[in-house]
Amino acid sequence: MEEVAIVGVGQSTFTRKCGVSVRELCFQAYKEAMEGLDITKDDIDASIVCSAPEYDKQRTPSGLISEYLELTPKPTFYVESVCSSSSTGLRVAWSLIKSGLHKVVAVIGFQKMSELTSREAAERMGRGGDIIWESPFGITMPAGYAMYARAHMAKYDTTEEQMAMVRVKNSSYGARNPKANYRKELSIDDVMNSDVITSPLKMFDCCANCDGSSSIIVARGDVAKRVSKIPIWVIGVGAATDTMTMSGRKSVTGLECSQEAARQAYEMAGVKPEDIDVAEVHDCFTISEILAYEDLGFAKPGEGARLIEEKQTYADGKIPVNVDGGLLSKGHPIGATGGSQIRTIVRQLRGEATEAQVKGAEIGLVHNVGGVGQYGNVTILRR
């Protein structure tokens, strides 16, 4: 079967209000992804557009964006798995190339959330869960992850201060990231004294809605070697889906979809957690990053908080995690998030992450979750 590599990555600046149309927003990321490649739009033989619906008025955005990027009449597809949409998009692109149907595929992720109020956005995100049995009763994203936080605290004695340490770390790297929405370093006191959103999660325990886009250019192995100086190889892809209702979950101290997706990705890549040099994990809330440490095998269940307490997930630690600021600092434009995470790892493996480069990084991991643990994607990349 054909090898598959990422040859180009791009991202718009994530911002609370971009001030441009969706098509223009997507062009910003696509333009960066195409820079330095020995290909043109005519070499891209399919595109995949990824976002969560109902945040803007445009139905079927894939056709609109494909037209604006001058990729027609090549086929375009629309992929949605809420917050993990664009990492799902990469999985679909990988599959299309593996099948032999296509040689070069552009994956475009976007979300323009500024057209809605915060209340409206929270309601839309809540509908990512079961609209009969859960979301009408207040299971928004913060409420859902607060339940996980409470369960983890009760079982493993995880503290609010340990969760706050995640935000402190990520804010220190977000302050260096020119593409991040929130570029301010925070202290433990800043996080602990911020307004309570849904206990135990406070304002600075939560990522922010914003506008943004990301782009990934994926190519068949022979093409990748020809058009890119440093292709980054996709060596493992894992995906899993848990129950929509939290009441149907086997556990609320870890995300089973992440655990299963990680198992698949490690097995395909032929690596173990200790082989990962740098990781991007889905830190929509501070507790989410601690759960990810455990779900991905970087720590045993209940010991994730020790990693952040010992600063083992800083850039010079045992397993650097979210050294671009993560969702907590970059912001979370839903459909663009996975592509942004992938961009970070690609830049790390190329040695281009000047803001916070992990020395000698050869293997990287991307962990992207949709909803409150409904969808899990884990992707492993190698230089």
Catalytic residues: 83, 332
- Total Cβ atoms within 10 A of residue 270: 10
Instruction: Report in angstroms the alpha-carbon separations of 62 from 42, 104, 109.
Output: 18, 17, 10
Distance (Å, rounded) from C-alpha 266 to C-alpha 90? 17
Residue 40 CB contacts under 8 Å (≥ 6 apart), including other chains = none
Distance (Å, rounded) from C-alpha 15 to C-alpha 13? 6
Distance (Å, rounded) from C-alpha 266 to C-alpha 139? 32
- Bridge partners for 9 per DSSP: 216
- Total Cβ atoms within 10 A of residue 303: 14
Distance (Å, rounded) from C-alpha 223 to C-alpha 182? 37
Tokens 């830049």 locate to: 347
Residues in the chain: 383
Tokens 């992207």 locate to: 368
SS3 247: helix
**Which amino acid would we find at residue 41?**
K
Give the angle subtended at the CA of 215 by the CAs of 266 and 375, to the nearest 5°: 45
